[in-house]
Amino acid sequence: MSGNIQLLTDTLAAARAEGRSVLIAYLPAGFPTVDGGIEAVTAAFDGGADVVEVGLPHSDPVLDGPVIQTADDIALRGGVRIADVMRTVREAHAATGKPVLVMTYWNPIDRYGVERFTAELAEAGGAGAILPDLPVQESALWREHAEKHGLATVFVVAPSSKDERLAQITAAGSGFVYAASLMGVTGTRESVGAQAQDLVERTRATGTGLPVCVGLGVSNAAQAAEVAGFADGVIVGSAFVKRMLDAPDHPAGVEAVRALAADLAEGVRGRA
């Protein structure tokens, strides 16, 4: 069974045709439990997310700030396994018909086996993966298997990426390009900053046809609206996780995810 790269591409194209940006939410699998995580992902879609990135928690999340570290830690202590991540992808996609990506670090996939991982992700209905510590020059094996199974390879670009590097990355990637709005790890920020717009413009200047979505630091509708003014998508992670961590109980956390997604969905339509 082939993965849902086409669904991802179509979703981004449809939003562009509507003259708006997409909302991409991130939530870790297994947080606070596997079933609870599936409810949260489904709630993000219900609220208005167009795409969800499901995190595969890792023991050493060097690119994540304290909020996602805490969630990963809860998920790992709860014993989350790759099979649980696949189930999260499968059930969230089946319930909504929307594109679901996996975001994780390279070692869990390397250890699990690239062929096995890509085959299972495609079979679960996944649309692709974001692997922020797998740079383009180390990615040939992954891309070969992702392509074979119809999965997108979403690369991250950073404000420090030089133009020739942006050309190399956009040429190798598929689905969309993840533009990191600032130099730093995941987490909410007061402002998103001018670096993001410059990076989006430099990425587009490579001539890539891929949509460019901006992540890192976005936490509210006003920021989402600002980013939607220059990017094809707005990626929000820590703000969702923080709502769940701060909620008095799980149902309230799920409801907070739905409410934030609804708020941000207004933002990406320029209505904040």
Partner 1 sequence: MPSDFFIPDPEGQVPSAEGYFGAFGGKFIPEALVAAVDEVAVEYDKAKHDPEFARELDELLVNYTGRPSALTEVPRFAEHAGGARVFLKREDLNHTGSHKINNVLGQALLTRRMGKTRVIAETGAGQHGVATATACALFGLECTIYMGEVDTRRQALNVARMRMLGAEVVAVKSGSRTLKDAINEAFRDWVANVDRTHYLFGTVAGPHPFPAMVRDFHRVIGVEARRQLLERAGRLPDAAIACVGGGSNAIGLFHAFLPDASVRLVGCEPAGHGVETGEHAATLTAGEPGILHGSRSYVLQDDEGQITEPYSISAGLDYPGIGPEHSYLKDTGRAEYRAVTDDAAMQALRLLSRTEGIIPAIESAHALAGALEVGRELGPEGLLVVNLSGRGDKDMDTAARYFGLYDTDAEVAADEADIAEIEGDAK
Could you list the residues that contact partner 1 (CB under 8 A)? 58-63, 65, 69, 73, 76, 81-82, 105-112, 132-135, 137-138, 155-162, 165, 169, 180, 183-185
Catalytic annotation present for 64:
yes
Catalytic annotation present for 53:
yes
- Least CB distance from residue 39 to partner 1, whole Å? 23
**Tokens 């995810």 -> residue:** 257
- Least CB distance from residue 267 to partner 1, whole Å? 25
Closest-CA residue to 199 (of 169, 242, 157, 235): 157
Sheet of strand 22-28, all strands in order from the earlier edge strand to the far edge? 152-154, 128-130, 100-103, 51-55, 22-28, 233-236, 212-215, 177-180, 156-157
Residue number, 20 or 202, with CB nearest to partner 1: 202
Q: What tokens does 268 get?
A: 């990406």
- Least CB distance from residue 133 to partner 1, whole Å? 5
**CA atoms of 87 and 231, how far apart (whole Å):** 31
Which is the catalytic residue, given 39, 50, 64, 232?
A: 64
Residue number, 11 or 104, with CB nearest to partner 1: 104
Q: What tokens does 24 get?
A: 């991409």
Which is the catalytic residue, given 53, 84, 91, 232?
A: 53
- Least CB distance from residue 6 to partner 1, whole Å? 26
Within 13 Å of residue 119, how many CA atoms lie on the same side as its CB? 5
Q: Which residues are catalytic?
A: 53, 64
